[in-house]
Amino acid sequence: MSTGLDALTQANINTWLTGNYDDDTKSKIQQLIDEGKETDLTDSFYKNLEFGTGGMRGEMGVGCNRMNKYTVGGATQGFANYLKQSFPDQAISVAIAHDSRNNSSYFARVVADIFSANGIEVYLFSALRPTPELSFAVRHLGCTAGIVITASHNPREYNGYKAYWNDGSQVVAPHDKNIVAEVNKIQSVDEINFAGNESLISFLGEDIDAEYLKTIQANSINPDVIARQKDLKIVYSSIHGTGITLVPKALALLGFENVSVVEAQAEPNGDFPTVIYPNPEEAEAMSLAVNLAKEIDADLVIATDPDADRVGAAVKNPKGEWVLLNGNQMASLIIYYLLDAWKKAGKLTGSEFVAKTIVTTNIIDKMCETQGVKCYNTLTGFKYIAAVIRELEGKEQFIGGGEESYGYLIGDAVRDKDAVASCAMIAELTAYAKDNGKSLFDFLTAMYMENNFYYEGLISLTKKGKAGAEEIQQMMADLRSNVPATVAGSEPVTVIDYTNLTSKDLKTGEITSIPEGLGMEPSNVIQLILADGSKVSARPSGTEPKIKFYVSVNAPLTQAEDFDATLESLKAKVTAIQEDLGLK
């Protein structure tokens, strides 16, 4: 063994070479050693791939810091142990789904085998399916938990493992940390029971698809509008992911008859051959769909990520140019449409609510306030929105919600972001706009004219290593102790510190507490509210060496013709705030 490797890395390599691992794994490790690939060996073995509070994600390959049969196996054995502790002498069942990534179906089968080997009943999707359908299946089948094998929109080298609880949401406290503790107790491959029990494994297919699609059809508010606009020209891309299994079916079920699928991206493929990143937040990933839309003069472009929980969209502006809508804009448009439709249908009784994350645009708060609907703000992560729905079930009715990172939810049949249902709703609101002689862009403009033009900017700073982690800590400490007197000419009036769940009025010095619960718990996030209504949020990542700064600004939009000028003015204001805070 080379002396270039540290002691822990070498010890981990030795464990895998001498332990009860398969010959193919050992052969691949030996090949890396023989070829002197010390960097690859270090990256693969210097630590254990972390099972965090929502699961795990990493590059695929051999080693304890990679996604493979054994790391997936350890996570599953730990999760199985926790389920058996939590539900003693009870029947336990788990639903399992996977996306289109390389090895996803294999990992899903490994997970199924381990759960069944531990006496747990398994419902395994027989082929790839969207993540939101897994969430639905957990609740529909009355399962104790769920697993999705996916790395969402990460690069092709990655795969991941998402853990769900019996309400169909990703696990939250106290189960999240308790599961992590059980996973960390698995110290040897010999503790993992890989010997599956076929009698405990059932397969899911079109029957559960039909039940899930019924809930999407039930979300539709204006079927008469869709009937009149059934020829709405929609371009859809699944970006080689799971969306192809259900999004076209959902659109057809609602009555849309003119859907053009981007064929070059329709086949599920874990290599994602037509894109750099399979992420509908990226213009490059949307380019084939937009090009098709230009060819056929479409009304709407929608595209989903590999596990179909996020959706990107594009529309034509008044100049006939195709523009991409960001996550804040689409979340706002969906809520704008839902609130208006519920009001017109006489369904707003005072017990309805919307939920969003604290870094998502405040135009949603403003629209809810206007309609007399509660808007709950949660920590970042859709599991917190799901927690609000769970806690208010039977007391208040959930209309919809979303987050700035392209994830939205309509209705409560699913307890995670749902791109399939969102595609259907986005198509419906586009049809509604067209039925009223408008484009979706016109609809966006009208929303801004009624509520102010809100614009958000994001800077994500990567700070690697120990020094980087310390720098991030210092940046947060500075914001807490040295609030600037002005930011881009506006005075900070409130500091919200989610670490201790307090809000401080900088004028009076009064401190008020933010109640814990309803999607809220202590978290390392700080927000500055400025006198002009601007908002700055600072949030270190819990999984990456990054710190993110979200800036939200707004201004009146008095006429549609001022859209571009107002947008440029708001962009300049975001830049000024970022520069004033020294963000580069």
Q: What's the pLDDT tens digit per position in 66-117?
A: 999 999 999 999 999 999 999 999 999 999 999 999 999 999 999 999 999 9
| pLDDT value, residue 463 | 85
Same domain? 489 vs 444: no
Same domain? 422 vs 478: no
The residue out of 451, 480, 513 marking a domain boundary is 451
User: What value, to the nearest 5°, has the Cα angle with vertex 217 and ends 96 and 124?
Assistant: 10
DSSP 69-86: HHHHHHHHHHHHHHHHHH
| pLDDT value, residue 383 | 94
Starting at the edge strand that comes first in sequence, how are the strands of the sheet with 374-378 ordered? Answer: 374-378, 352-357, 397-403, 407-410
CATH code assigned at 489: 3.30.310
Whether the per-residue pLDDT at 49 is higher than 50: the answer is yes
Alpha-carbon gap, residue 547 to 524, rounded angstroms: 11
Name the token pair of 401. 């919600």
Burial class (CB in 10 A: 0-12, 13-18, 19+), 553: buried
Alpha-carbon gap, residue 332 to 547, rounded angstroms: 25
Question: Which of 100, 104, 152, 220 is an active site residue?
Answer: 152
What is the band of 545 on the pLDDT scale with cuts at 50, 70, 90?
Answer: confident
In percent, the amount of the chain with pLDDT more than 90 equals 92
Lowest mean pLDDT among 31-40, 299-308, 466-475: 466-475
What is the band of 2 on the pLDDT scale with cuts at 50, 70, 90?
Answer: very low
Smallest CA-to-CA distance from 447 within 428, 427, 433 is with 433
What is the band of 4 on the pLDDT scale with cuts at 50, 70, 90?
Answer: confident
**H or E element at residue 304:** strand 300-304
Same domain? 249 vs 278: yes
Smallest CA-to-CA distance from 250 within 114, 490, 427, 131 is with 427
Q: Are 550 and 458 in contact (CB under 8 A)?
A: yes
Same domain? 162 vs 232: no
**Which domain does 17 fall in, by range?**
1-46
| pLDDT value, residue 470 | 86
| pLDDT value, residue 467 | 82
What is the band of 340 on the pLDDT scale with cuts at 50, 70, 90?
Answer: very high
Structural domain tally of the chain?
4
Same domain? 180 vs 256: no
Smallest CA-to-CA distance from 385 within 234, 555, 170 is with 170
**For residue 515, what is the DSSP state?**
P
The 3-class SS string of 437-492 reads: CCCHHHHHHHHHHHHCEEEEEEEEEECCHHHHHHHHHHHHHHHHHCCCCCECCECE
**Measured in Å, how far apart are the chain's first and last C-alpha atoms?**
43
CATH code assigned at 361: 3.40.120.10
Helix (H, G, I), strand (E, B) or coil at 535: strand
Sign, CA torsion 191/197/200/206: positive
Phi-psi group of 106: left, alpha or beta (phi > 0 → left; psi -120 to 50 → alpha; rest → beta): alpha
Average pLDDT of the chain to the nearest whole number: 95
Q: Are 418 and 305 in contact (CB under 8 A)?
A: no
Residues 6+ apart with CB under 8 A from 174: none
Same domain? 40 vs 140: no
For residue range 248-287, what is the model confidence (pLDDT) as tens digits? 999 999 999 999 999 999 999 999 999 999 999 999 999 9
Prediction pTM value? 0.95
The residue out of 204, 233, 258 marking a domain boundary is 204
For residue range 7-28, what is the model confidence (pLDDT) as tens digits? 999 999 999 999 999 999 999 9
- Residue 152 a catalytic site member: yes
Residues 6+ apart with CB under 8 A from 427: 232, 234, 251, 254, 256, 300, 302
Cross-strand pairs, 148: 97, 162
Helix (H, G, I), strand (E, B) or coil at 201: strand
Same domain? 413 vs 463: no
Whether the per-residue pLDDT at 1 is higher than 50: the answer is no
> How much is the average pLDDT of 206-211?
98
Same domain? 66 vs 1: no
Q: Residue for token digits 């405990």?
A: 200
| pLDDT value, residue 583 | 86
| pLDDT value, residue 135 | 98
In 10-47, which positions are buried (b, 16+ CB within 10 angstroms) versus exposed (e)?
A: bebbeebeeeebeeebeeebeebbeeeeeeebbbbbbe
Pick the more confident residue, 471 or 353.
Answer: 353
What is the band of 542 on the pLDDT scale with cuts at 50, 70, 90?
Answer: low
Same domain? 160 vs 139: yes
For β-strands 397-403 and 407-410, DSSP reports them as antiparallel
Same domain? 358 vs 263: yes
What is the band of 468 on the pLDDT scale with cuts at 50, 70, 90?
Answer: confident
The residue out of 405, 434, 451 marking a domain boundary is 451
Alpha-carbon gap, residue 491 to 399, rounded angstroms: 35
Same domain? 134 vs 170: yes
- How far from 440 is each of 293, 343, 421, 432, CA to CA, in Å? 14, 20, 18, 9
Same domain? 573 vs 466: yes
